[in-house]
A and B are shown apart, each in its own frame.
Chain A
Amino acid sequence: MKHIKSINNGTMKESMKKGGCGECQTSCQSACKTSCTVGNQSCENPRR
Chain B
Amino acid sequence: MIHQFKNNGYNIVMDVPSGAIHVVDDLAYDIISMYQDFDRDEIVLKLSEEYDPLEVRESLDEVEDLIATEQLFTDDDYEEAVNDFKQRDTVVKALCLHIAHDCNLACRYCFAGEGEYHGRRALMSFEVGRKALDFLIANSGNRRNLEVDFFGGEPLLNWQVVKQLVEYGREQEKLHDKYFRFTLTTNGVLLNDEIMEFCNREMSNVVLSLDGRQDIHDLMRPFRNGRGSYDLVVPKFIDFAKKRGDMKYYVRGTFTRNNLDFASDVLHMADLGFRQISVEPVVAPPEEPYALREEDIPKLLEEYDKLAAEIAERNKTDRWFNFFHFMIDLEGGPCVYKRLAGCGSGTEYLAVTPWGDLYPCHQFVGQEEFLMGNVDEGITRTDIRDEFKQCNVYSRSECRDCFARFYCSGGCSANAWNFTHSINGNYRIGCELMRKRVECAIMIKAALADNGDEDDEENIPIQNEPVCDFGENCPREEFLF
Q: Considering the chains assembled together, what is the distance between the CA atoms of A3 and B147 in angstroms?
A: 45
B344 at interface, CB cutoff 8 A: yes
A-contacting residues, B63-106, CB 8 Å: 63, 65-66, 69-71, 74, 78, 81, 91, 93-94, 96
Contacts of A22 in B (CB 8 A): 91, 93, 143, 348
Partner of B342, one of A12, A16, A38: A38
Most chain-A CB neighbours within 10 Å: which of B94, B254, B335? B335
With CB as the reference atom, state the residue of chain A lying closest to B207: A31
Q: List the count of A-B residue pairs having beta carbons below 8 Å apart.
A: 228
Most chain-A CB neighbours within 10 Å: which of B94, B333, B407? B333
Interface flags, B309-332, vs A, CB<8A=1, else 0:
000000000000000110111111
B220 at interface, CB cutoff 8 A: no
With CB as the reference atom, state the residue of chain A lying closest to B327: A40
Q: State whether A5 touches B409 (Cβ < 8 A).
A: no
Q: Considering the chains assembled together, what is the distance between the CA atoms of A16 and B81 in angstroms?
A: 9
Most chain-B CB neighbours within 10 Å: which of A18, A31, A36, A41? A31
Q: How far is the CB of A13 from chain B (nearest CB, A)?
A: 6
Q: State whether A13 touches B17 (Cβ < 8 A).
A: yes
Q: State whether B145 touches A44 (Cβ < 8 A).
A: yes
Contacts of A38 in B (CB 8 A): 334, 338-339, 342-343, 407-409
Contacts of A5 in B (CB 8 A): 22-24, 449
Q: Which of B126-134, B190-198, B275-283, B294-302 contacts A (4 or more CB under 8 A)?
A: B275-283
With CB as the reference atom, state the residue of chain B lying closest to A32: B280
Q: How far is the CB of B32 from chain A (nearest CB, A)?
A: 9
Contacts of B333 in A (CB 8 A): 39-43
Q: Which of B38-46, B233-241, B259-267, B410-418 contacts A (4 or more CB under 8 A)?
A: B410-418
B-contacting residues, A1-35, CB 8 Å: 1-13, 15-16, 18-35
Q: Considering the chains assembled together, what is the distance between the CA atoms of A39 and B325 in angstroms?
A: 9
Q: Considering the chains assembled together, what is the distance between the CA atoms of A48 and B336 in angstroms?
A: 13
Contacts of B19 in A (CB 8 A): 8, 10-12
Q: Considering the chains assembled together, what is the distance between the CA atoms of A45 and B282 in angstroms?
A: 33
Partner of A43, one of B21, B325, B332: B332
**Interface of chain B: mostly helix, strand, loop or mixed:** mixed
B107 at interface, CB cutoff 8 A: no
With CB as the reference atom, state the residue of chain B lying closest to A40: B327
Q: How far is the CB of A25 from chain B (nearest CB, A)?
A: 7
Partner of A12, one of B336, B442, B449, B476: B336
B445 at interface, CB cutoff 8 A: yes
Q: State whether A25 touches B147 (Cβ < 8 A).
A: yes
Q: State whether B337 touches A19 (Cβ < 8 A).
A: yes
Q: State whether A4 touches B28 (Cβ < 8 A).
A: yes
A-contacting residues, B31-64, CB 8 Å: 58-59, 62-63
Q: State whether B18 touches A10 (Cβ < 8 A).
A: yes
Q: State whether A39 touches B446 (Cβ < 8 A).
A: no
Most chain-B CB neighbours within 10 Å: which of A1, A12, A40? A40
A-contacting residues, B228-282, CB 8 Å: 250, 252, 254, 276, 278, 280-282
Contacts of A11 in B (CB 8 A): 18-19, 331
Q: Considering the chains assembled together, what is the distance between the CA atoms of A24 and B348 in angstroms?
A: 11
Interface flags, B442-478, vs A, CB<8A=1, else 0:
1001100100000000000000001001000000100
Q: State whether B334 touches A39 (Cβ < 8 A).
A: yes
Q: How far is the CB of B121 from chain A (nearest CB, A)?
A: 21
A-contacting residues, B372-412, CB 8 Å: 406-412
Q: How far is the CB of A33 from chain B (nearest CB, A)?
A: 7
Contacts of A7 in B (CB 8 A): 21-23, 330, 442, 445-446, 449
Q: Considering the chains assembled together, what is the distance between the CA atoms of A20 and B445 in angstroms?
A: 26
Contacts of B221 in A (CB 8 A): none
Most chain-B CB neighbours within 10 Å: which of A10, A23, A48? A10
Contacts of B332 in A (CB 8 A): 42-43, 48
Partner of B344, one of A26, A37, A45: A26
Contacts of A31 in B (CB 8 A): 205, 207, 250, 252, 276, 278, 324
Given contacts A23-B145, A33-B280, A36-B413, 20 further A-B contacts (CB under 8 A): A3-B59, A7-B22, A8-B20, A9-B69, A10-B21, A10-B74, A12-B19, A12-B336, A13-B18, A13-B74, A26-B93, A29-B205, A30-B324, A33-B363, A34-B283, A36-B342, A36-B410, A37-B407, A41-B466, A42-B329
The 25 listed contacts between A and B (C-beta, < 8 Å) are A2-B58, A3-B27, A10-B71, A10-B74, A13-B17, A18-B335, A20-B335, A22-B143, A22-B348, A28-B345, A28-B349, A31-B250, A31-B278, A32-B278, A33-B252, A33-B362, A34-B280, A34-B415, A35-B280, A36-B412, A37-B325, A40-B333, A41-B466, A42-B329, A42-B476
Q: Which residues of A are in contact with B by a Cβ distance under 8 Å? A: 1-13, 15-16, 18-45, 48
